[in-house]
Structure formats: C-alpha cells, structure tokens
Structure 1
C-alpha cells in the first residue's frame, strides 16, 4: 500500500443562474487524496480558497449513477464532447453551486486513489494509523510517535 498524498488540477466550469439566464465560468479545482484520510476526496477551489471534503465512495458512485443527497450530489451525463460529471455543492448560505468536470479526468484520479488505499481497505488503514500512535507519549504532551 502506497503512503502519502496525491493531487491533480482539473479545470471545471461553475454554472451560475442569474437574471440573464445561465452563465458558465472556468475554475480550477485541485482534487486531492491523502492516505491519512482515506475516506474522503478533497476539492480545493483555488479562486476562493474553499475546500470541500467529499466521501470517496460518493464520488465513485456518482460516476455510475446520480448519488448523494443534501449538501453534496454527484452525477455523470453523456454529452456531445464526452462524459461530464456534475458536482453540486450546497453550503446553505448561497444557492447550490453546480460544477462540471471531465468524467474521465475524475475517474483516472480516483483509480490512483484506489491504488493507494483499495476500496474496502480504508478501515484497516485508519486502524494501522491508530496502532502507530504512542498514546503514553501523547498523553504526556509529547509529539505523536510513529505517525
């Protein structure tokens, strides 16, 4: 099992619904995955320094069929230029935001995460991290050992 962190910059389009109809603006999203948080994929929106941590299982499911409820939804649709994944985020302060990303780019990234921590092996990964913590030293105010 490979340890560490990977990231990839994906150009997405943010779709805004306004008085003049729907407009679209290109936006860079850094998609990241770290083995110390094996359950989630991070979406870092550079333009606003906003980060969303989304369940890796939800993103993978959204490549096959519409997935998610509430704050995060992911769905993939065939388009003229290829498959597009729509990521919908709702922070409950603003209207929900829709972003379209290339489905193949996202799928390639997720395949890399599966090489790092295979699906279903996340719990084992977290348990190993917990086992490496020197709880005695940590309780005494020292630095975490082995992790």
Structure 2
C-alpha cells in the first residue's frame, strides 16, 4: 500500500507544486471528505482496508435474556467523532476525544479495560478502522485529476 501511495505522490507532485496554497487547501478538503466517506463505509461494513472482515467479538461471559446484538463501532463512524483537517500541506482524517483512545486500542490491538467500574482488562484483536484501500488510492487520484482538469 505504501508503494502505491509513493507512486501516486511521484506522479502528481509536480502538478500539485504548481498550485497555490488556497488551491491546495481546497483540493485537500475534497480529498479528506471522500476519504472520510470511504472510511465510514468500510467501518459500517466492518472490513479492514485489505477487504478482510473484522475479527468477531469474543463471546460474552453473561448474556442478558433478550439482549440486542449491535454492530461494532456504530458511533465511531459518525462525523461528530471522525473529523477531517485540511490545509495547504495536506489533510487528515482522525478520531477525536474519548473515542480516539477506543479507536487506537482497536486499530493497534492493545490491552485495555473492559469496563470503567471493574478492573478487568482484555487483549483486543487488531481491527484496522482507518487505512488506505486500493479503491481509496484510486479515488484520491480521481479527485486530484478532476480538480486539475478544471
């Protein structure tokens, strides 16, 4: 994936260097908006950037009778928590606030507390919430070429 980004960078860096700061900021805004939409879609489908599915949740120790199963990360993918930043130097899609810690634990597969009240900890499997898929790289190049063709 890094080699695809390097190839994209080498192809388009000359064209992008000719743009002014305001134009680069506008282009970065368009790119991060499309990236956030694709990341939200991927999180909703519960897929890693390579297309594989997220590892399933561990079986719960006690299940309440009539409990409703919910999809993982329903609130994390909201625009309220998944923010974009854009400037002349580039852009970013990132989680903010308390959800940033939760997202980091799942992104990297870290050890974390299961509940605030109890001291029980668990090793979470790595689930890549943010990352570049091949279709994301194609979308970025399409946005750039569309912007430059205007």
Same fold (TM over 0.5): no
Higher RCO (C-alpha 8 Å, min separation 6):
2
More helix by share: 2
More strand by share: 1
TM-score by length of 2: 0.29
